[in-house]
Chains A and B, each alone.
Chain A
Amino acid sequence: MTTPLLTATALHKRYGETDALAGADLTVTAGEVLAIMGPSGSGKSTLLHCIAGIVTPDSGRIEYDGVDMTAMSDSRRSALRRTEFGFVFQFGQLVPELTCLENVALPLRMNGVARKAAEQRAADWLAKLEVSDVARKRPGQVSGGQGQRVAVARALVAEPRLLFADEPTGALDSLNGEAVMRHLTSAAAELGTAVVLVTHEARVAAYSHREIVVRDGRTRTVVAAAS
Chain B
Amino acid sequence: MAIGQTFLGLLEAKPRHGYDLKRAYDERFGADRPLHYGQVYATLSRLLKNGLVEVDGVEPGEGPERKRYAITEAGITDVAGWLATPEKPEPYLQNTLYAKVVLALLTGRSAAEVLDTQRAEHLRFMRDLTHRKTHGDLADQLICDFALFHLEADLRWLELTAARLDQLRAEVTP
- Residues A227 and B124 in contact in the complex (CB < 8 Å), given A202-B151, A206-B148: yes
Shortest Cβ distance from B59 into chain A, in angstroms?
Answer: 43
Query: B-facing mask of A215-227, CB < 8 A → 1, else 0?
Result: 1000010111101
Evaluate contact between B120 and A220: CB separation under 8 angstroms: no
Residue of B with least CB distance to A211: B123
- Residues A222 and B119 in contact in the complex (CB < 8 Å), given A203-B149, A206-B148, A227-B124: yes
Indicate whether A180 reaches chain B with its CB closer than 8 angstroms. Answer: no
Bound-state Cα–Cα, A208 to B152, Å: 15
Interface size, chain B (Cβ < 8 Å): 23
- Residues A208 and B127 in contact in the complex (CB < 8 Å), given A202-B122, A222-B116: yes
Shortest Cβ distance from A100 into chain B, in angstroms?
Answer: 26
Evaluate contact between B116 and A224: CB separation under 8 angstroms: no
Stretch at the interface among B11-19, B47-55, B128-136: B128-136
Evaluate contact between B121 and A203: CB separation under 8 angstroms: no
Bound-state Cα–Cα, A213 to B130, Å: 20
Evaluate contact between A223 and B134: CB separation under 8 angstroms: no
Measured as residues with beta carbon below 8 angstroms from the partner, the interface class of chain A is 10 to 19
Shortest Cβ distance from A199 into chain B, in angstroms?
Answer: 12
Shortest Cβ distance from A200 into chain B, in angstroms?
Answer: 8
Which residues of chain B come closer than 8 Å to A157, judged between CB atoms? Answer: none
Indicate whether A39 reaches chain B with its CB closer than 8 angstroms. Answer: yes
Bound-state Cα–Cα, A39 to B128, Å: 24
Evaluate contact between B124 and A224: CB separation under 8 angstroms: yes
Indicate whether A194 reaches chain B with its CB closer than 8 angstroms. Answer: no
Bound-state Cα–Cα, A108 to B123, Å: 37
Bound-state Cα–Cα, A91 to B163, Å: 28
Residue of B with least CB distance to A209: B127
Evaluate contact between B119 and A203: CB separation under 8 angstroms: no
Evaluate contact between B163 and A206: CB separation under 8 angstroms: no
Evaluate contact between A202 and B117: CB separation under 8 angstroms: no
Bound-state Cα–Cα, A182 to B135, Å: 11
Shortest Cβ distance from A189 into chain B, in angstroms?
Answer: 11
Evaluate contact between A205 and B123: CB separation under 8 angstroms: yes
Indicate whether B126 reaches chain A with its CB closer than 8 angstroms. Answer: yes
Indicate whether B155 reaches chain A with its CB closer than 8 angstroms. Answer: yes
Beta-carbon contacts under 8 Å, A171-208 to B: 182, 201-203, 205-208
Indicate whether B73 reaches chain A with its CB closer than 8 angstroms. Answer: no
Evaluate contact between B151 and A213: CB separation under 8 angstroms: no
Bound-state Cα–Cα, A227 to B162, Å: 25
- Residues A201 and B120 in contact in the complex (CB < 8 Å), given A39-B163, A206-B127, A208-B127: no
Bound-state Cα–Cα, A104 to B46, Å: 63
By a beta-carbon cutoff of 8 Å, the part of chain B in contact with chain A is: 116-117, 119-124, 126-130, 134, 148-149, 151-152, 155-156, 159, 162-163
By a beta-carbon cutoff of 8 Å, the part of chain A in contact with chain B is: 39, 182, 201-203, 205-209, 211, 213, 215, 220, 222-225, 227
Ordered by A's residue number, 8 sampled pairs between the chains whose C-beta atoms are within 8 Å are A39-B159, A202-B123, A206-B126, A207-B127, A207-B130, A211-B120, A224-B121, A227-B128
